[in-house]
Amino acid sequence: MQLARILLLALPLLGFAAEHPAQLAANERGLVERMAKAYAWRLIEPTSTDAKNEFSASSKRFEQQLAQLTESSKKDAELSDNFSLLNQQWSDFQALTKPTPTQAQAKQVLEASEEMAYIAQKGGQLLAAKLDAPTQASVLAESVATLAQRLAKNYLLQSAGLSVPFLAKDLAAARSEFEATSRQLKALPLNSASLKGQIDLLDSQWFFFQQALDALAANRQDLSLRRNVVTTSNRIYEVATELAVRYQRLTVAAR
């Protein structure tokens, strides 16, 4: 346990960000969902500069973090194989998303993002098993961030008229998981007044997000609802990823 603590405190020196390596891999999963969401947004609004910028920024961050994870995992065969596969998937994903988005291409992007998210998640699980696992609090916060992007992705793809049988079912499942995870986050005993303030901000954004999801279920769609989904999902992602880092640092400092 003491060795794990030393490793965690030394992460910046080893080339990792301040997050636990498993948390970094979890963030990669969230970025996969975020890129797929931005692609869906571009499908609906091909000329949107904001959609293109979000996709570009998320891609750049994903690639940087993947390089960190790949380099730092070279001495472990299991981890090396996992992140090598993610690198190959990333190369294929870039080729898929380079052309102007189309309905046919969107189905392939959706499938590719599912595979990438799975391998990123597997990498996080392997890292958690090999190092002292990240805190439950940080895992919950990363899950909230990822689920917000997944919900927005599915909402936008449905709004774009993409015909994929499991989309509606996955949207409902992701919504239930988001709500359950949010409740767990609120109930954490280590939540200070500052942390509770950030969680309250998540709640306020979720209120408007839910309205758009309910409207979609009732077959009501308009530009303002889509913009609400984009805006609120982005804000939830930003706040939740910041919370994940704060939780992890609090726990490491207390060890």
pLDDT of residue 224: 82
H or E segment and range at residue 60: helix 49-72
Q: How many domains does the chain have?
A: 1
Q: How far apart are CA 221 and CA 24, in angstroms?
A: 35
Residues of the domain holding 144: 2-254
pLDDT of residue 254: 63
Residues in the chain, pLDDT under 70: 1-19, 132-134, 220-221, 252-255
CB-CB contact of 30 with 145 (8 Å): yes
CB-CB contact of 242 with 138 (8 Å): no
What token pair was written down for 71? 């380099």
CB-CB contact of 158 with 219 (8 Å): no
Q: What is the pLDDT of residues 192-207, one digit of tens each?
A: 999 999 999 999 999 9
* Spatial CA neighbour of 113 closest among 38, 1, 3, 23: 38
In sign, the C-alpha dihedral spanning 143, 54, 154, 208 is: positive
CB-CB contact of 59 with 35 (8 Å): yes
Q: What is the pLDDT of residues 152-211, one digit of tens each?
A: 999 999 989 898 888 989 999 999 999 999 999 999 999 999 999 999 999 999 999 999
Burial of 85 (0-12, 13-18, 19+ CB in 10 A): middle
pTM over 0.85: yes
Q: How far apart are CA 31 and CA 57, in angstroms?
A: 10
CB-CB contact of 149 with 174 (8 Å): no
H or E segment and range at residue 157: helix 136-159
